[in-house]
């Protein structure tokens, strides 16, 4: 990963504090140990910390177009950059490096904001076009790379890869957002576009922000959303063949690098599939990394070992004791805002171990979301069938009453723990799904909140996040 920061005077061409920009950039040194750079001009400052992956000697950032009027700082990878280089070269653009970063400036010259629609990859970047006096921020389709921004009362817009970089600026407000706190207690994290601070936002996944100097305040615009699949008739064998082909192609693209590569291997279906595809397309044995827990009740390293042996990987294992909480303070500093996922602890350990041998590691994260692997998806689908059969006016009182009288059987098999199901069926689709995913339910959150904090929420409920997505 790399890191980027920036400042933009949206109203004029005030002098950028280069020393302050450098301090902001320095907070991201852990994201980019291989180099740093600044661009400072009238009313614009960009900073970058580099982790070199492609074109180790020629990809220094900030990176410019031919006449130096377009400059970019970029975090991520553009997997299809070879094809884009060929297309842009045919259109008359001249490339000075072999870096995927350079396609961004030339793509902007050729296609403007629509250029992001041609990028296949994971990215967050900030681009300044001096001729058009336009700042262009973009984030990849699924939000794998982060990008935060804040608009200050002075007219300055600041942005960066992490919250801590923005907090270096003395004008940034440090006031906590009550709605973000409510969302955190419900989900275990703060959903975008909010952050834990008022006045600082995340650019949402699949969005761009085009801000022209002197123009009204721009708002993020979506350039992509999950497409609705076209109806197709495939046999099971055809579907299996196409799935494997697409997974193999996705893995092959992510192996384009000038540095050592590896993979996190838990032994589950997702990471095992990634390792299998890597072993199929890579010329050398795969470097794989696993975490083993001292408590056998939580240890799945045997499954990882089975996959490692099958695909002859260079396998490394690190043992972590379940009660080893020495990382908590460090993780709080790294995440910058509340994050209530215990997997952060073993994830850090396996990343640290992998970094000793490789620069880039693939993982199976997202597999359950793509393939519907969580049980809650199946239960929600079944509940939706009941909602379609019974109108809310009948369903609410009926299942609401059943939910009140049915005992809470946490010890029983899932099909017998009907209390929560009855309670969810009494609710709307969005409210029912929210109830199934909430870390703390409405009652528990209500008991935590003071009267003053409840007033500060001004009626906001974290379930609005789910409802907004379902309406989109």
Q: Is 333 a catalytic residue?
A: no
By C-alpha distance, which of 363, 348, 141 is closest to 254? 363
Residue 285 half-sphere exposure toward CB, CA atoms < 13 A: 13
Could you identify the residue written with the tokens 């993979």? 263
Q: How many CA atoms lie within 13 A of 99 on its CB side?
A: 27
CA-to-CA distance for 314 and 20, rounded, in angstroms?
A: 44
Strand-pair partners of 124: 75, 139
Q: Which helix (H) or strand (E) holds 282?
A: none
For the record, the structure tokens of 272 come out as: 């095992």
The number of residues making up the chain comes to 472
Catalytic residue among 2, 38, 165, 291: 2
> Read out DSSP for 218-255?
P--EE---PPPPPP----HHHHHHHHHHHHHHHHHHTT
**Dist CA 204 CA 182 (whole Å):** 19
8 A C-beta contact, residue 44 and residue 128:
yes
What residues have CB less than 8 Å from 174, skipping those under 6 apart? 167, 197
Residue 159 to residue 220: CA distance in whole angstroms: 14
Q: Quote the CA–CA distance of 41 and 237 in Å, as a whole number.
A: 58
Cα gap 105→112, rounded to integer Å: 9
Residue owning tokens 């055809």: 238
User: Which pair of structure tokens corresponds to residue 168?
Assistant: 């270096």
Known catalytic residues?
Answer: 2
């Amino acid at each position: 990963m790399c890191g980027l920061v920036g400042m933009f005077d949206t109203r004029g061409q005030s002098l950028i504090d280069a020393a302050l920009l450098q301090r902001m950039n320095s907070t991201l040194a852990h994201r980019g140990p291989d180099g740093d750079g600044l661009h400072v001009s009238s009313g614009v400052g960009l900073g970058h910390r580099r982790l070199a992956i492609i074109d180790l000697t020629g990809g220094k950032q900030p990176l410019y177009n031919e006449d130096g009027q377009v400059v970019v700082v970029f975090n991520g990878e553009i997997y299809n950059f070879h094809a884009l280089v060929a297309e842009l070269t045919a259109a008359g653009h001249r490339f000075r490096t072999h870096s995927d970063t350079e396609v961004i400036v030339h793509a902007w010259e050729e296609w403007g904001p629509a250029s992001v629609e041609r990028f296949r990859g994971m990215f967050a970047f900030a681009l300044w076009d001096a001729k058009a006096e336009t700042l262009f921020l973009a984030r990849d389709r699924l939000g794998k790379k982060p990008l935060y921004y804040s608009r200050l009362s002075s007219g300055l817009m600041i942005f960066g890869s992490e919250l801590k970089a923005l907090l270096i600026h003395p004008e940034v407000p440090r006031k906590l957002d009550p709605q973000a706190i409510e969302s955190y207690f419900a989900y275990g994290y703060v959903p975008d576009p909010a952050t834990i601070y008022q006045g600082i936002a995340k650019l949402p996944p699949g969005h761009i922000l085009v801000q022209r100097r002197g123009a009204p305040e721009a708002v993020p615009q979506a350039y992509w959303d999950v497409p609705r699949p076209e109806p197709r008739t495939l046999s099971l064998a055809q579907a299996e063949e196409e799935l494997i082909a697409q997974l193999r192609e996705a893995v092959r693209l992510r192996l384009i690098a000038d540095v050592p590569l590896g993979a996190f291997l838990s032994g589950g279906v997702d990471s095992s599939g990634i390792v299998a595809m890597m072993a199929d397309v890579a010329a050398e044995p795969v470097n794989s990394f696993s975490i083993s827990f001292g408590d056998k009740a939580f240890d799945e390293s045997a499954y990882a070992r089975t996959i490692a042996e099958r695909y002859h990987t260079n396998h490394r294992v690190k043992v972590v004791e379940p009660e080893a909480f020495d990382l908590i303070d460090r993780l709080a500093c790294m995440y910058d805002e509340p994050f209530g996922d215990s997997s952060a602890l073993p994830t850090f350990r396996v990343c640290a171990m992998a970094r000793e041998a490789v620069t880039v590691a693939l993982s199976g994260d997202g597999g359950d979301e793509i393939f519907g692997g969580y049980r809650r998806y199946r239960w929600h689908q079944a509940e939706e069938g009941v909602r379609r059969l019974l109108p809310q006016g009948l369903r609410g009182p009926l299942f609401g009453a059943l939910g009140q009288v049915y005992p809470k059987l946490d010890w029983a098999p899932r099909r017998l723990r009907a209390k929560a199901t009855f309670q969810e069926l009494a609710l709307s689709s969005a409210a029912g799904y929210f109830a199934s995913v909430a870390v703390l339910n409405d009652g528990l959150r209500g008991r935590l909140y003071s009267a003053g904090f409840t007033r500060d929420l001004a009626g906001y409920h974290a379930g609005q996040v789910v409802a907004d997505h379902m309406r989109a």
